[in-house]
Structure formats: structure tokens, C-alpha cells
Amino acid sequence: MNPSEEELKREITRVTRTLYQRGLINALEGNVSARIPGKDEFWITPSQVFKGDLKAGDLIKMNLRGEVLEGALKPSIEWRMHSAIYIARSDVNAVVHAHNPLVLALSLLGRELKNTLTLESALLGRVGRVGFKLPGSGELAEAVAEMARAGVKAIVLDRHGVVGLGATLVEAEAIVESLESLALIEYICYSLGEEPRGIPGGVLESLWKFLDSTSRNRG
């Protein structure tokens, strides 16, 4: 059953608080949104409000043309990126953007995330990369939408952060957190002076098939 708008709003604030508590965003950073089922509208976090204690009443409702429909605060400056993703992908109902420190550190050194952990790598699939674009810009929104159209659900933004695209808020949240888990494991390997080993070819493909079949069995 589809979540109600009140449930979606509560879940957006929970995800945003979690990002703050996990150190994936600072006080005024990050943004989270969820599409309202069956509508060309979404709820999104506000700009310039402390993200560690966000309330449902702080959120803003917008349509995919960028018009504010409800809410007293200013929407996140990244609303264009969220809107562009929803336009590009009808299967995406939630978008989470954070500033994952370990992912960014490895990215700054040109070290691409490897498929090292089975479940995290299976969830992420191919990780997309977007070169430097100004935060909040139409260019950033267009570059991310292009990745989304290519079927990617985990994206690293150069010198900025990451974006997770999910069918649900918890999936988009898990994508952002899994990116940081992979980066943490790699960071530890490099700190110990070793190159992390990737998963052998074929294992991920088998896991995708297995997960696919179990999700079908669960109906």
C-alpha cells in the first residue's frame, strides 16, 4: 500500500536526522525528497534550516515544474536535481543527497569505489559519477538526470557529495549509507597499506538473480 503524505513527511524527517547523526551531512547540508504516489508532486527538505532536528512542518511541497504548492520555508537549493530525477525515472519515488566524507576523500584521490562487499555492491549496482558542477545549478540537475536515465541509482558528485535514488525513502537512504560503508572498508584497506580486493566476476550477477527470485517469491 502506498504511504500517506503524512507518513512520507515523517519518513523524510527521520532520514534527514539519521544523515546528520551519522555525520553524512553538516547542520545545514543535505536534502531529501519523496514523490507523492500517483502525482507529479513531491515533498522536499527546506534550505537554511538545521537538519538534525527537522520537523514535518518544515517541509515544502512542490510540483515537477518547480512551483511551491505548500510550506512556508524556501525549498532546498537542489530542488532542480530532485525534480529532474523524478521526471527522468518513473520508478524512483525518493531521492537522498548527502556529503559522505569517506566517499569524497577517495573520490578526491581518484580512487574509484570497488565492489568489495557483497550486499552493498549488489544494492548499488554501477556507481555513476558527475564531474564538478556548481551546487544548486541547472547543469548539476541535468548531469544527474542523465545518469538517472542511464539506470544508475547511486551517484558521486565531484567535490560535493552523493545521491541515492530509490523506489522508497529507505532504499535511497540505504544507497547513501552503503556508499559510505564501501568507502570505509576501502579506507581501512588503504590505511593498512593494501589494495582492497574486488568481488570475483560472476558473484554479483548470481546474487542479483537470487535476490530477484526471492523478491518475486515474496510477492
3-state secondary structure the chain: CCCCHHHHHHHHHHHHHHHHHCCCCCCCCCEEEEECCCCCEEEECECCCCHHHCCHHHCEEEECCCCEEECCCCECCCHHHHHHHHHHCCCCCEEEEECCHHHHHHHHCCCCCCCCCHHHHHHHCCEEEECCCCCCCHHHHHHHHHHHHCCCCEEEECCCEEEEEECCHHHHHHHHHHHHHHHHHHHHHHHCCCCCCCCCCCHHHHHHHHHHHHHHHCC
Minimum gap (Å) between residue 210 Cβ and Zn ion: 35
Nearer CB in complex with Zn ion: 16/115: 16
Cβ pair 169, 104 in contact under 8 A: no
Nearer CB in complex with Zn ion: 13/76: 76
Rounded CA-CA distance 70/59 in Å is 8
Cβ pair 212, 123 in contact under 8 A: no
Minimum gap (Å) between residue 202 Cβ and Zn ion: 36
Minimum gap (Å) between residue 157 Cβ and Zn ion: 7
- Return phi, psi of residue 196, to 5°: -65, 145
Nearer CB in complex with Zn ion: 26/168: 26
Nearer CB in complex with Zn ion: 114/160: 160
Task: Indicate which single residue of 161, 164, 166, 196 sits in contact with Zn ion (rule: CB under 5 A).
Answer: 161
How many residues touch Zn ion under the rule CB under 5 A: the total is 1
- Regarding 164 and contact with Zn ion (CB under 5 A), the answer is no
Nearer CB in complex with Zn ion: 14/99: 99
**Contact region with Zn ion (CB under 5 A), list: 33-41, 119-127, 140-148, 159-167:** 159-167
**Contact region with Zn ion (CB under 5 A), list: 117-125, 161-169, 178-186, 201-209:** 161-169
Nearer CB in complex with Zn ion: 161/166: 161
**Contact region with Zn ion (CB under 5 A), list: 36-44, 45-53, 57-65, 158-166:** 158-166
**Contact region with Zn ion (CB under 5 A), list: 67-75, 123-131, 140-148, 155-163:** 155-163
**Contact region with Zn ion (CB under 5 A), list: 8-16, 157-165, 194-202, 205-213:** 157-165
CB-neighbour burial class of residue 194 (10 A; exposed 0-12, middle 13-18, buried 19+) = exposed
Residues contributing to the site for Zn ion (CB under 5 A): 161
